[in-house]
Structure 1
Amino acid sequence: MSAVWINTAIWILLLTFFDVGRANYSDDQCSWRGSGLSQLKGSVEQISLHCSEGTLDWLYPKGAVRLTLSPRLPSLAVGPGSSSSGLITACVKPSEHFHGAQLYLERDGVLELLVGDRLESSPPPRVRCFSRLPGERVALFVQATPHQDISRRIASFRYELRGDWTARLSLDSSPISNEEACRPCNNTEMLMAVCTSDFVVRGNIRSVEEDENLRAAVIKVSATRVFRQKYTLFTANGRLSSRGEIRTLLQCGVKPGPGSFLFTGRVHFGEAWLGCAPRFKDFKQAYIAAKAAKQIPCELPVD
């Protein structure tokens, strides 16, 4: 990267990527699609989006694009790895055909390469996640790479911003956060998970498969009761059950076995990722005790 681009990237850090306090949420400002053919040589296209998830599609990349996000985020979920620190985690998922540009994270004047330009024969790029600590200024900076023929080049990716629950689900996690992601939930976390999760399902594990590309375990679930699902994740397989898939980190070592579980978690780029998953009998015992003590955060029909 040339000194000119580095200076440009640092200069535009005066804008804030995760300035949640000044968020101006708008349903029609979640995604951006543009063309480098309309940009002047050496120019930087300034983009601001106002949703917690969306897409960027940059056709025929030329020059650079600088992306700031100021979404109104949902409340932080309570579970292993979460806290009240105000930590916000973002993930970007490049398209399988990401070409013609490099994607950088700008953090307090330092550039970090997230996604490099790819050859046609290169494997698909991985999801990359990163967090913003209080007081940090970060942004996404997409720089076109020189090509004689830009007609087939598209730099496209999806983004998601959440509370710090995403750190547990990251496929780009450190060993410390991986250990946290595999830790069983305590009673308080279990009870809160049924209130804050994107899906709450009672069911059995039919099988567990490995997805080497995602470095994830895919849990095949036969659901006997779907209490809630924010998206259509579990579809009917008859009158008495539904089927769906839930992903978790490979190192958590999930194995198929007997017993009924309460599966909870979040949706990450359209896929279900595991949060708390106690055996249903253990959850029911904790729920009944908390209800008797009038300490349940929300109701769940467990009978």
Structure 2
Amino acid sequence: MVPRVLVSVWVLVLCAADLCNWTGSGSAAGPDSRLVLQVRLRCTEGSVTWLHPGPALRVVLEPNLSSARSGSVCVQPRPTLRGARLFVERSGRLQLLGEEEEEEEEEEGGRLGWHRAFCFRTDGPHRPVIYIQGWRGPGSWSRSWVGFRYELLDNSRGSAAPQEASCRPCSDSELLMAVCSSDFVVRGHIRNISHDPVRHTSVVEVAAARVYRQRSGAFELHPSASPPSWRGHIHIPLRCGVKPGDGAFLFTGSEHFGEAWLGCAPRYKDFLSAYHEARRERRNFCDFPLDR
């Protein structure tokens, strides 16, 4: 049964030298202690690694941004969460985000990758709180580690969790804003589309002739290609039913945990038409580098 209300426990507050990331050990509480370790982090993105997990870890996210009060939080657990459970705390109650089964298999090469992200809206004036319930049972305390990555999104600036993406085409106004404010803007062709029913996503493989902007290196230059080009993968919710198309596109979107997620993707010639018209009427939001 999922615990709905926090029980009375002792809380040990730990100081994080790195205000974005925390790595610590459950040995501070001991294998049989009822201590809940508490960590406070002050960045909009980072990671938590808990070695030899104890009974519970409470992570309070309190970035120095007033806009964080009207946003969303995305959490991406590691598969080594196996047997532990991840919650979001809302007004003293715990809501389950995810847990892993013992029999989950490792990925190719024996390495475990990241899970799909869980996203939720922040709870008014209350700071987001992530709560990990450690493993229970004989020998559970000796297991290696659990962890997750987190991102705080500012909804007031148009940021949205990947799962909340709209599947409708962008209007000209939305497109003109997207080329000015997106995490990535690239011009290229669709090479392939694959579907992942487990993560409920489709993945578009893109060969890009031009990378105008990117935040975290989702697109990499392949100098050995003929001609040399950028390659990358763009994610989109499976429910959008993305289909292949010929010709050049202008891909824009956001980056979450190093992955590119699609925002607007018009054909490049359609973007040029909308941009030229907006510039003539002096309603473009920014200057865009036009090239052939």
Short-chain TM bin: 0.7 to 0.9
C-alpha distance after superposition, 1:41-81 (max 9, x if no partner): 111212111111111111122132111112246989xxxxx
1:169 aligned onto 2:162? yes
Q: Return the offset for 1:167.
A: 3.6
Q: 1:220 to 1:291 in 2, by over 3 A?
A: same
Q: Return the offset for 1:28.
A: 3.0
Three-state SS of the structure 1 residue aligned to 2:81 is coil
Q: Return the offset for 1:251.
A: 1.4
Picking from 81, 91, 103, the partner of 2:86 is 103
Q: Return the offset for 1:4.
A: 11
> How big is the alpha-carbon RMSD for the aligned residues of Structure 1 and Structure 2?
2.9
Task: Tell me, in whole angstroms, the C-alpha distance in 2 between the residues paired with 1:27 and 1:265.
Answer: 33
Partner of 2:271: 283
Task: Tell me, in whole angstroms, the C-alpha distance in 2 between the residues paired with 1:217 and 1:29.
Answer: 34
Q: Return the offset for 1:30.
A: 0.8
**Is residue 195–residue 203 contact of structure 2 (8 Å, CA) maintained in 1?**
yes
Q: Return the offset for 1:3.
A: 8.1
Partner of 1:80: none
Picking from 52, 56, 60, the partner of 2:52 is 60
Whichever residue aligns with residue 236 of structure 1, its letter is L
Task: Tell me, in whole angstroms, the C-alpha distance in 2 between the residues paired with 1:145 and 1:5.
Answer: 19
Q: Return the offset for 1:260.
A: 1.4
Task: Tell me, in whole angstroms, the C-alpha distance in 2 between the residues paired with 1:197 and 1:147.
Answer: 47
Partner of 2:176: 191
1:215 aligned onto 2:193? no
Give the number of equivalent residue pairs: 272
Task: Tell me, in whole angstroms, the C-alpha distance in 2 between the residues paired with 1:45 and 1:209.
Answer: 42
C-alpha distance after superposition, 1:134-186 (max 9, x if no partner): 3455411112232321222422111111123554512xxxxxx4xx5211111
Task: Tell me, in whole angstroms, the C-alpha distance in 1 between the residues paired with 2:94 and 2:124.
Answer: 19
- Decide which moves more: 284-293 or 238-247: 238-247
Partner of 1:83: none
1:160 aligned onto 2:151? yes
Q: Return the offset for 1:29.
A: 1.1
Q: 1:61 to 1:294 in 2, by over 3 A?
A: same
Three-state SS of the structure 2 residue aligned to 1:61 is coil
1:27-176 matched pairs, under 5 angstroms: 28-39=18-29, 41-72=33-64, 87-116=70-99, 118-121=101-104, 126-135=116-125, 138-149=128-139, 150-164=141-155, 167-170=160-163
Task: Tell me, in whole angstroms, the C-alpha distance in 2 between the residues paired with 1:230 and 1:201.
Answer: 12
Question: When the two structures are superposed, what TM-score results if normalisation uses the length of structure 2?
Answer: 0.82
**Is residue 102–residue 144 contact of structure 1 (8 Å, CA) maintained in 2?**
yes
Question: When the two structures are superposed, what TM-score results if normalisation uses the length of structure 1?
Answer: 0.80
Task: Tell me, in whole angstroms, the C-alpha distance in 2 between the residues paired with 1:229 and 1:292.
Answer: 28
**Is residue 108–residue 137 contact of structure 1 (8 Å, CA) maintained in 2?**
no
Partner of 2:260: 272
Question: Can you give the 5+ residue segments of structure 1 that lack an aligned partner in the other structure?
Answer: 13-25, 77-85, 171-176
Q: 1:52 to 1:3 in 2, by over 3 A?
A: closer
Task: Tell me, in whole angstroms, the C-alpha distance in 2 between the residues paired with 1:155 and 1:105.
Answer: 16
**Is residue 83–residue 102 contact of structure 2 (8 Å, CA) maintained in 1?**
no
- Decide which moves more: 108-117 or 260-269: 108-117
Three-state SS of the structure 2 residue aligned to 1:220 is strand
Whichever residue aligns with residue 191 of structure 1, its letter is L
Whichever residue aligns with residue 64 of structure 1, its letter is A
Whichever residue aligns with residue 49 of structure 1, its letter is L
Whichever residue aligns with residue 163 of structure 1, its letter is D
1:190-269 matched pairs, under 5 angstroms: 190-237=175-222, 238=225, 239-269=227-257
Whichever residue aligns with residue 95 of structure 1, its letter is R
Q: Return the offset for 1:98.
A: 1.2
Partner of 1:293: 281
Whichever residue aligns with residue 28 of structure 1, its letter is D
Whichever residue aligns with residue 136 of structure 2, its letter is P
